[in-house]
């Protein structure tokens, strides 16, 4: 095979938020397999340490950091700790996110509203701003936001989440302009994936919906996020920025 077509992240350092489980974990393992060193951040340090050990066993460097991405000052501490150990960050994946359930609109307290917007939008904004400017002042880099199909098909049971992810889509395009030409900023917009979040789904109802509304008639397996994440992090995406890539099985 022509070696130029192989994705090689040797010498790169990637920071992945929410890298301890689900889609973030698959991305972290794929980047490490492609040669990158990994900084993995989530709230629970033990989960980050488990992944860091796996990555070190692959011969890569790994740094686990506990941080709540919804808090501005924790994002700043995460950045300081990351640059304390690595001279540069080449790839930032803003993956940590979630969508809490609620029964009716008036159950959404100010605190819950803020929690959803802070984790899914404010934290990624802060990390992209500070790390992105450092990338732009240095060797450049790639920022990959993980939003959601909910951003373009908002539904009643995830209003604040959909708004935050739509904001992330908008932020992707604006950050690409702000940080170009040395930094590329792109977004992956996943549809339904079988991670821990799917444990709460009514699978019978989901299967019926998938039959009607998903071209591939199923949810994604976590490793199916990897192709897009590898592409966007790599030199193969050198002319791709401000893009939003759907990885959703053809959801409608």
Residues designated as active site: 161
Q: Which of residues 63-102 bind ligand NAP (CB under 6 A)?
A: 68-70, 95-98
Q: Which stretch binds ligand NAP (CB under 6 A): 29-37, 43-51, 79-87, 175-183?
A: 43-51
Looking from the CA of 4 toward its CB, the CA atoms found within 13 Å total: 1
Residue 249 found at the interface with ligand NAP (CB under 6 A): no
Shortest distance, position 10 Cβ to ligand NAP, whole Å = 25
Minimum Å distance from CB 155 to ligand NAP? 12
Nearer to ligand NAP, 70 or 141 (CB): 70
**Residue 43 binds ligand NAP, judged by CB under 6 A:** yes
Q: Which residues of 135-156 are buried (b: 16+ CB within 10 A; e: fewer)?
A: bbeeeebbbbbbbbbbbbebee
Of residues 69 and 143, the one with the C-beta less far from ligand NAP: 69
CA contacts within 13 A on the Cβ side of 141: 26
Residue with smallest beta-carbon separation from ligand NAP: 22
CA distance 108 to 114: 10
Beta bridge partners of 65: 41
**Shortest CB 70 distance to ligand NAP, Å:** 5
Nearer Cβ to ligand NAP, position 36 or 158? 158
* DSSP code for 193: B
Site for ligand NAP in 171-230 (CB under 6 A): 190, 192-193, 195-197
Q: Which of 165, 200, 151, 190 is nearest to 26 (CA)?
A: 190
- Residues ≥6 apart with Cβ < 8 Å to 145: 94, 124, 128, 168, 169, 171, 172, 185, 186, 187, 188
Helices 123-137 and 159-179: angle between axes, nearest 10 degrees = 10
Tell which positions 117-176 bind ligand NAP, by CB under 6 A: 119, 146, 148-149
Residue 4 Cβ, how far from ligand NAP at the closest point, in Å?
Answer: 31
Residue carrying structure tokens 């974990």: 25
What is the contact surface with ligand NAP in residues (CB under 6 A)? 17-18, 20-24, 42-44, 47, 68-70, 95-98, 119, 146, 148-149, 190, 192-193, 195-197
């Amino acid at each position: 095979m022509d070696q130029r077509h192989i994705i090689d992240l040797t010498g790169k350092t990637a920071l992945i938020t929410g890298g301890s489980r689900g889609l973030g974990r698959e991305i972290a393992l794929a980047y490490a397999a492609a040669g990158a060193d990994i900084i993995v951040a989530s709230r629970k340090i033990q989960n980050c340490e488990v992944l860091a050990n796996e990555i070190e066993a692959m011969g890569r460097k790994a740094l686990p950091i506990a941080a709540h991405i919804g808090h501005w000052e924790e994002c700043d501490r995460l950045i300081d700790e990351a640059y304390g150990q690595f001279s540069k960050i080449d790839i930032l994946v803003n993956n940590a996110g979630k969508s809490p359930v609620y029964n009716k609109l008036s159950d959404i307290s100010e605190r819950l509203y803020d929690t959803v917007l802070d984790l899914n939008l404010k934290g990624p904004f802060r990390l992209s701003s500070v790390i992105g400017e450092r990338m732009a002042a240095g060797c450049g880099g790639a920022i990959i936001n993980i939003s959601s199909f909910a951003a373009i098909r908002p539904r009643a049971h995830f209003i604040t989440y959909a708004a935050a992810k739509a904001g992330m889509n908008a932020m992707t395009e604006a950050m690409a302009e702000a940080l170009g030409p040395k930094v590329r900023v792109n977004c992956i917009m996943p549809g339904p994936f079988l991670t821990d979040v799917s444990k709460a789904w009514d699978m019978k109802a989901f299967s019926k919906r998938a039959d009607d509304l998903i071209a591939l008639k199923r949810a994604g397996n976590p490793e199916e996020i990897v192709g897009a994440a590898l592409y966007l992090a790599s030199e193969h995406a050198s002319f791709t920025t401000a893009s939003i890539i759907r990885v959703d099985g053809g959801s409608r």
